[in-house]
Amino acid sequence: MKRLPLPTLIGLFITGLFLFTAIFAPLIAPFGVSEVVGDVWEPASAEHWLGTDNIGRDLLSRMIWGGQTTIFVAIAATVVSFVTGSVLGLFAAVVGGWLDQLMSRFVDLIMAIPTLIFALVVLSVMPVTIPVLILVMGLLDSTRVFRLSRAVASDIAVMEYVESARLRGEGRAWVIFREILPNALSPLVAEAGMRFIFMVLFVSTLSFLGLGVQPPAADWGGIVKENKDGIVYGIPAALLPAVAIAALAISVNLVADWVLDRTSSLKGGRNA
């Protein structure tokens, strides 16, 4: 294993820091998530490092708790998206025929509707809870994973070793999970980084519109919504989540770029 390039190290470090803060939020956050501890929009002080929010809650604590919610929802939605998208995509590539056509055309149809618009349409009749959010975001996004994994798997499915596995009489599940999946994994892992960032932006946007994570739970999009009125009085509280999201997005991108570089130079080989 070669030494990691500097941008990747920085990316890994910042991503790790965010994950660490999210996991240990209860130990790190100085105050509770909806604990009112001071006046409205207090400036930064020794006690409240980032000041307080629109109803006097500690902003640093809100940011930490909010990060936990945002990152958790984004990871869960990415997992839903990946499991659904890649299993169906690999299946479609291996089976082929009319079933593949049917699934591919259905995915084309879903992708003809802008994701945010479709999510809004669905959320207008569903109760807005975290499991529903995760499912809606994950399933809508799985269309992209489906396309990618189907494309990658179609290339692999015609390789000799897959053919020989078929001729040996292996079942469909073996071909998908033991022959194709390990070789399709690298591009999918790189894509996972991109999907995760997209999910962070997506859930933040929904929460900002008031249709995502519901108060009093905190999440980064919601913190912007709560504090946006301060902007006109020159209070920058609403800008903090923007910094957090940008830092997370850029650092995950740096790591994903490295994964992509590494895999494209390996040309699908393992243990190189």
Q: Given the rule CB under 8 A, which residues bind other proteins?
A: 109-110, 112-118, 120-127, 197, 201, 204-205, 208-211, 221, 224, 228, 231-234, 236, 238-239, 241-242, 245-246, 249-250, 253
Spatial separation of the C-alpha atoms in residues 190 and 263, rounded to whole Å: 9
Nearer to other proteins, 36 or 194 (CB): 194
Q: Least distance (Å) from other proteins to the CB of residue 62? A: 16
Tokens 């809650």 belong to which residue?
57
Give the contacts of 35 (CB within 8 A, at least 6 positions apart): 57, 58, 61
Nearer to other proteins, 186 or 227 (CB): 227
Q: Least distance (Å) from other proteins to the CB of residue 72? A: 18
Nearer to other proteins, 60 or 224 (CB): 224
Q: Least distance (Å) from other proteins to the CB of residue 248? A: 9
Spatial separation of the C-alpha atoms in residues 228 and 264, rounded to whole Å: 43
Nearer to other proteins, 117 or 272 (CB): 117
Q: Least distance (Å) from other proteins to the CB of residue 146? A: 16
Q: What is the largest CA-CA distance in the chain?
A: 73
Spatial separation of the C-alpha atoms in residues 98 and 234, rounded to whole Å: 60
DSSP readout, 20-71?
HHHHTHHHH-SS-TT-B-SSTTPPP-SSSTT-B-TTSBBHHHHHHHHHHHHH
Nearer to other proteins, 35 or 229 (CB): 229
Q: Least distance (Å) from other proteins to the CB of residue 133? A: 13
